[in-house]
């Protein structure tokens, strides 16, 4: 007999780790105690050496699905104290401070089995859950994470549920949202007028869907609008009723087989679809023809992630549109009354329930890359799980940007990014943003000592930081937009810098007050310099050119000395340009894509930011060609005029828009590699981070890292947060961390 002292570092609190330990300790016939510490947990165990070692070996494999074990330290050969059983030592204060709030988890296999087992007491109960699955973040009002402080507070447990809850051997031990048909929440079905219909609500909803109706369905983090995905007429009707732009709709498929009927699914993509995070995964469509679901070659697909979804699909439904019920950039609808009021005339019927959603949370959106998620939006299923950055000190609130407004709160080494909640331009989103910041500060028991925000003077997030800083006497640091993107990708990959940053997006406020967005930066968390950029593009009419991209196309043609007579309103644009009337220059990569899309006749105007790039990528056809271009000056300027001239020549010679689109993007890849190589030659730096919304372009992402490697450089892409403005607050925190260092 001997004792061992074990220290486990990582994310092991608030993830069901201690009951798991209890079972594992018993399973190996050991005795001892466990307690939480500031960096993880500590155990003292006694038993035979062999059993102790086997226990330690089994730990990483058998740990709960949310646990993230980073390091296990052991000290064997200590004198045994003759302990009996297994004790969980508590320290309440510590607990509140260190407990992590779990994300919402997709239904687990055990619960699915019970759900469909006629002999089980939770047979067909749409709120079945356990320690390994169910709602978490979205039902929590406050900490400590106990039932009374969640939406489940109004559902006292029945004796059967109570017994399971207190039985450490049971898989529902301390599962706060646990419930059953006797004691838990209930579903209801209402017609378009808000009248509750008798009968089985789920069966009614299924019948209505099959008849071709559009329903509002309350999920985990908000309400979806649902209809049969394969009925094009219904999908068009839903678009019409939603009065929404042309953004793609996500769909939910009954299972992977149903997804495979519509899309190619690799084994890795399958893993991601079936993971407990249950994100929307962007998959390649089998049928590349036009579809009212999406205007590009990808389809966002997710699998049923709540028991309610499982029952809704039953045996016979294959695929449903499941799009967030929100109206033009306002946050997703999440309360029953709100749904009935705001979705009247949009939804024919409502499948709702009485378990309140406390915090809205949109579905996560990603694609598979190297076996992992590459996020467009990191939200439901992930949030509020932290990103750990060793060496951070905490106490910083980073306020993000404006479009895709997000924020990030740091507590010690844990950084808690909150996913984007829409553009901040409207009052409703701003109110939601401020309320979410307050909620996070309470949940993580952290009051910021430093506020970090963008340098853009007109961003509402900047105004929020400045006002709050003044009111509460907190220091405020303003950070350049693309520097924050670069820092975000560094932190995401654990790089200390210095690095070369290829930061491409639509627009960000530059050091010189100009609109930047096609940047090559060199620097680290402390500082940066602009090594290279795009030849600026005049935006005819300012912001109007962001929507009416034919204006950008005109400006490119004019600057390149090409014939502009084919462009509508050409004389008017020319006058504006000549007189310099409201034509602010922009070096945004998004604008170059927009202009190229316009020149190729793909579109004259767009309905959402980045659409030009999306359509150009969707149009791309196999072609290895590269256009001529010029890199010169300091900062190194990418002069795209030769490229534009060559594109026009190809177009006029009758080459397809798809092949020109490929050549255009190939040219950007080559330009980026040459720019980075020039920066590397001058500075000796070899690490190159890729960040900014333009790196949601799979075509670029498939080719640029390889081109950089070929040039002898080390490319780094995002892993844990999005490359777009949603992920930028992570970089803001890191720049804040280093503000005192010179
Ligand atoms: Zn479960
Ligand atoms: Zn019960």
Using the mean position of ligand 1's atoms as its centre, give its distance from the Cα of residue 418 in Å. 25
* Ligand in closest contact with the CA of 310: 1
Q: Report how far ligand 2's centroid is from the alpha carbon of 160 (Å).
A: 6
Name the more confident of 41 and 366. Answer: 366
Q: Ligand 1 center to residue 178 CA distance, Å?
A: 10
Helix axes 641-652, 589-599, angle to 10 degrees: 20
> What does the chain come to in residues?
742
Q: Which ligand is nearest to the CA of 152?
A: 2
| pLDDT confidence band for 93 (50 / 70 / 90) | low
Are 499 and 546 spatial neighbours (Cβ–Cβ below 8 Å)? Answer: no
Distance 179 CA to ligand 2 centre (A): 5
Contact between residue 411 and residue 449 where contact means Cβ atoms under 8 Å apart: no
d(C-alpha 402, C-alpha 462), whole Å: 9
**Complete DSSP assignment for 583-607:** --EE--HHHHHHHHHHHTTS-S--S
CA distance 702 to 118: 48
Instruction: Assess whether pLDDT exceeds 80 at residue 92.
Output: no
Ligand 1 mean position, distance from CA 130 (Å): 4
pLDDT band at 742 (very low <50, low <70, confident <90, very high): very low
Distance 307 CA to ligand 1 centre (A): 10
- The pLDDT value recorded for residue 95 is 54
CA atoms of 96 and 458, how far apart (whole Å): 37
> What spacing in Å lies between the alpha carbon of 181 and ligand 2's midpoint?
6
Centre of ligand 1 from the C-alpha of residue 373, in Å? 23
Pairing, β 414-418 against β 407-411? antiparallel
Give the chain's mean pLDDT: 92
Q: From the centroid of its chain, how far is CA 201?
A: 32
Report the percentage of the chain scoring pLDDT > 70: 97
Confidence (pLDDT) at 328: 67
**Is-contact 183 157, C-beta < 8 A?**
yes
Q: What is the pLDDT of residue 34?
A: 87
Q: How far apart are the C-alpha atoms of 38 and 93, rounded to whole Å?
A: 11
How far is ligand 1, taken at its centre, from the CA of residue 133, in Å? 4
| Residue 174 preceded by cis peptide, ω within 30 | no
Outline where DSSP puts E strands in 196-284. 215-218, 223-228, 251-253, 280-284
Q: Ligand 2 centroid to 122 CA: how many Å?
A: 9
| Ligand found nearest the CA of 16 | 1
**pLDDT above 70 (res 47):** yes
Residue 736 phi, psi dihedral angles, 5° rounding? -60, -40
Question: What spacing in Å lies between the alpha carbon of 373 and ligand 2's midpoint?
Answer: 36
* pLDDT at residue 198 tops 90: yes
Spatial contact of 657 and 601, defined as CB atoms under 8 Å apart:
yes
The answer, yes or no, to whether the previous bond of 323 is cis (omega within 30 of 0) is no
Distance of CA 383 from the midpoint of ligand 2 (Å): 28
Task: Give the closest ligand to the alpha carbon of residue 135.
Answer: 1
Reply yes or no on whether the pLDDT at 161 is more than 60.
yes
Judged by DSSP in three states, 627 sits in: coil
Q: What is the pLDDT of residues 366-403, one digit of tens each?
A: 999 988 899 999 999 999 988 888 878 889 999 999 88
What pLDDT was estimated at residue 244?
Answer: 66
- Helix (H) / strand (E) element for 669: namely helix 657-683
Q: How far is the CA of 114 from the centre of ligand 1 (A)?
A: 9
Write down the pLDDT at residue 94.
Answer: 54
Output the CA 183–ligand 2 centroid distance in Å: 4
Q: Among 263, 258, 256, 231, which Cα is nearest to 319's?
A: 258
| Distance of alpha carbon 264 from alpha carbon 368, whole angstroms | 12
Residue 127 CA to ligand 2 centre (angstroms): 11
Instruction: Give the ligand at the shortest distance from the Cα of 110.
Output: 1
Q: Which ligand number lies closest to the CA of residue 184?
A: 2
The alpha carbon of 131 and the centre of ligand 1 are apart by a number of angstroms equal to 6
Judge contact between 424 and 402, C-beta under 8 A.
Answer: yes
Q: How far is the CA of 155 from the centre of ligand 2 (A)?
A: 9
- Rank 12-16, 61-65, 171-175, 559-563 by mean pLDDT and report only the highest: 559-563
| Burial call 527-548: b when 16+ CB within 10 Å, e when fewer | ebebbbbbbbbbbbbeeebbeb
Q: DSSP letter string over 150-192?
A: BGGGGSPPPHHHHHHHH-TTSTTTT-TT---TTTS--EEEEET
pLDDT digits (tens, 9 = 90+) for 212-268: 999 999 999 999 999 999 999 999 999 999 876 688 999 999 999 999 999 999 999
| 175 Cα: distance to centroid of ligand 1 (angstroms) | 10
Closest listed ligand to the CA of 128: 1
Residue 17 backbone phi and psi in degrees, to 5: -75, -40
Q: What is the mean pLDDT of residues 463-490?
A: 96
**HSE-CB of 362 using CA atoms within 13 angstroms:** 23
Tokens of 317: 């439904």
Beta carbons within 10 angstroms of residue 144's beta carbon: 12
Nearest partner of 627 among 609, 605, 643, judged by Cα:
643
Give the distance (Å) from ligand 1 centre to CA of residue 171. Answer: 8
Can you tell me the distance from the alpha carbon of 138 to that of 140, in angstroms, rounded to the nearest whole number?
Answer: 6
Distance CA 351, CA 610 (A): 34
CA of 571 to the centre of ligand 1 (A): 65
182 CA to centre of ligand 2 in angstroms: 5
pLDDT confidence bin for 566, thresholds 50/70/90: confident
Comparison of pLDDT for 59 and 453, the residue scoring more: 453
Instruction: Report pLDDT digits (tens) over 298-321.
Output: 999 999 999 999 999 999 999 999
Q: How far is the CA of 156 from the centre of ligand 2 (A)?
A: 8
Number of the ligand closest to the Cα of 183: 2
Q: Nearest bound ligand to CA 156?
A: 2
Sheet with 414-418, edge to edge strand ranges: 387-388, 414-418, 407-411, 394-398, 450-454, 475-479
CA of 111 relative to ligand 2 center, distance in Å: 15
Q: What angle do CA 323, 421, 488 make, to 5 degrees?
A: 115
Q: Ligand 2 centroid vs 96 CA: distance in angstroms?
A: 27
185 Cα–ligand 2 center, Å:
10
Of 213, 253, 420, the C-alpha closest to 332 is 420
Q: Find the 106 Cα to ligand 1 centroid distance in Å.
A: 8
> Relative to the alpha carbon of 125, which ligand is closest?
2
How many A from CA of 141 to the centre of ligand 2? 22
Residue 288 confidence class, pLDDT cut points 50, 70, 90: confident
Ligand having the closest approach to the CA of 178? 2
On whether the CB atoms of residues 480 and 502 are closer than 8 A, the answer is no
The answer to whether residues 30 and 52 touch, using CB atoms and an 8 Å cutoff, is yes
438 burial type by CB count under 10 A (0-12 exposed, 13-18 middle, 19+ buried):
exposed
CB neighbourhood size of 499 (10 A):
27
Residue 162 CA: which ligand is closest? 2
Find the ligand nearest to 276 CA. 1
Q: So what's the pLDDT on residue 666? A: 98
- Whose tokens are 């893993």? That residue is 271
Cα of 142 from ligand 1 centre, angstroms: 23
pLDDT tens digits, 320-373: 999 998 876 678 888 999 899 999 999 999 999 999 999 999 999 999 998 889
What pLDDT, in 10s, does the model give residues 701-716? Answer: 999 999 999 999 999 9
pLDDT at 70: 79
Share of residues in the chain with pLDDT > 90 (%): 75
**Ligand 2 centroid from CA 130, angstroms:** 12
Ligand 1: distance of its center to the CA of 204 in Å?
Answer: 26
């Amino acid at each position: 007999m001997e004792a061992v002292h074990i220290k486990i570092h990582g994310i092991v609190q608030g993830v069901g780790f201690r009951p798991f330990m209890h079972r594992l300790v018993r399973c190996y016939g050991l005795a001892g105690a466990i307690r939480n510490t500031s960096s993880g947990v500590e155990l003292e165990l006694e038993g035979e050496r062999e059993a102790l070692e086997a226990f330690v070996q089994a730990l990483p494999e058998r740990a709960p699905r949310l646990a993230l074990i980073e390091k296990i330290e052991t000290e064997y050969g200590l004198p045994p104290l003759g302990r009996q059983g297994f004790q969980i030592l508590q320290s309440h204060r510590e607990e509140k401070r260190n407990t992590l709030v779990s994300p919402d988890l997709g239904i687990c296999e055990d619960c699915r089995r019970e759900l469909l087992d006629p002999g089980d007491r939770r047979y067909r109960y749409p709120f079945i859950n356990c320690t390994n699955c169910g709602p978490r973040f979205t039902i929590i009002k406050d900490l400590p994470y106990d039932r009374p402080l969640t939406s489940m507070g109004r559902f006292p447990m029945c004796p059967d549920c109570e017994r399971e809850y207190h039985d450490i051997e049971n898989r529902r031990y301390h599962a706060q949202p646990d419930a059953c048909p006797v004691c838990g929440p209930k579903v209801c079905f209402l017609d378009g007028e808000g009248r509750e219909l008798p009968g089985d609500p789920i069966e009614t909803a299924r019948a209505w869907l099959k008849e071709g109706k559009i329903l509002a369905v309350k999920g985990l983090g908000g309400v979806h609008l649902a209809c049969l995905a394969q009925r094009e007429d219904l999908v068009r009707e839903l678009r019409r009723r939603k009065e929404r732009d042309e953004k793609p709709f996500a769909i939910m498929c009954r299972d992977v087989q149903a997804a495979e009927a519509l899309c190619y699914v690799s084994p890795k993509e399958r893993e991601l679809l079936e993971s407990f995070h249950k994100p929307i995964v962007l998959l390649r469509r089998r049928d590349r023809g036009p579809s009212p679901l999406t205007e590009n070659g990808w389809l966002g697909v997710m699998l049923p992630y709540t028991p309610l979804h499982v029952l809704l699909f039953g045996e016979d439904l294959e695929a449903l549109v499941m799009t967030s019920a929100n109206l033009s950039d306002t946050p997703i609808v999440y309360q029953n009354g709100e749904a009935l009021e705001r979705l009247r005339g949009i939804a024919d019927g409502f499948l709702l329930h009485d378990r309140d959603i406390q915090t809205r949370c949109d579905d996560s959106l990603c694609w598979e890359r190297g076996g992992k998620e590459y996020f467009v939006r990191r939200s439901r299923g992930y949030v509020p799980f932290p990103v750990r950055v060793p060496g951070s000190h905490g106490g910083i609130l980073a306020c993000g940007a404006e479009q895709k407004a997000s924020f990030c709160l740091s507590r010690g080494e844990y950084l808690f990014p909150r996913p984007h909640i829409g553009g901040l331009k409207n009052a409703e989103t701003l109110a939601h943003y401020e309320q979410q910041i307050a909620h996070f500060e309470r949940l993580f028991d952290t009051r910021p000592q430093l506020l970090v925000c963008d340098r853009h003077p007109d961003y509402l997030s900047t105004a929020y930081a400045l006002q709050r800083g003044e009111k509460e006497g907190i220091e405020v640091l303003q950070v350049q937009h693309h520097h924050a993107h670069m820092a975000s990708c560094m932190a995401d990959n654990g790089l200390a810098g210095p690095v070369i940053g290829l930061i491409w997006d639509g627009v960000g406020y530059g050091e010189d007050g100009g609109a930047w967005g096609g940047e090559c930066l060199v620097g680290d968390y402390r500082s940066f310099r602009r090594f290279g950029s795009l030849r600026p593009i005049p935006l005819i009419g300012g912001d109007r050119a962001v929507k009416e991209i034919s204006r950008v196309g005109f400006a490119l043609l004019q600057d390149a000395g090409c014939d502009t007579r084919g462009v509508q309103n050409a004389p008017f644009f020319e006058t504006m340009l000549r007189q310099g009337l409201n034509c602010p220059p922009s070096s945004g990569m998004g604008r170059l894509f927009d202009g190229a899309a316009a020149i190729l006749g793909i579109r004259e105007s767009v309905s959402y930011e980045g659409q030009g790039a999306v359509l150009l990528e969707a149009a791309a056809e196999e072609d290895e060609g590269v256009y001529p271009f010029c890199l010169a000056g300091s900062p190194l300027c990418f002069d795209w005029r030769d490229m534009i001239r060559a594109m026009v020549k190809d177009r006029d010679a009758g080459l397809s828009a798809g092949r020109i689109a490929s050549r255009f993007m190939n040219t950007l890849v080559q330009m980026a590699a040459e720019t980075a190589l020039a920066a590397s030659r001058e500075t000796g730096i070899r690490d190159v981070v890729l960040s900014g919304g333009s790196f949601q372009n799979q075509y670029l992402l498939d080719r640029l890292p390889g081109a950089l490697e070929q040039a002898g450089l080390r490319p780094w892409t995002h892993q844990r947060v999005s490359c777009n403005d949603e992920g930028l607050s992570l970089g803001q925190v890191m720049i804040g961390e280093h503000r005192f260092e010179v």
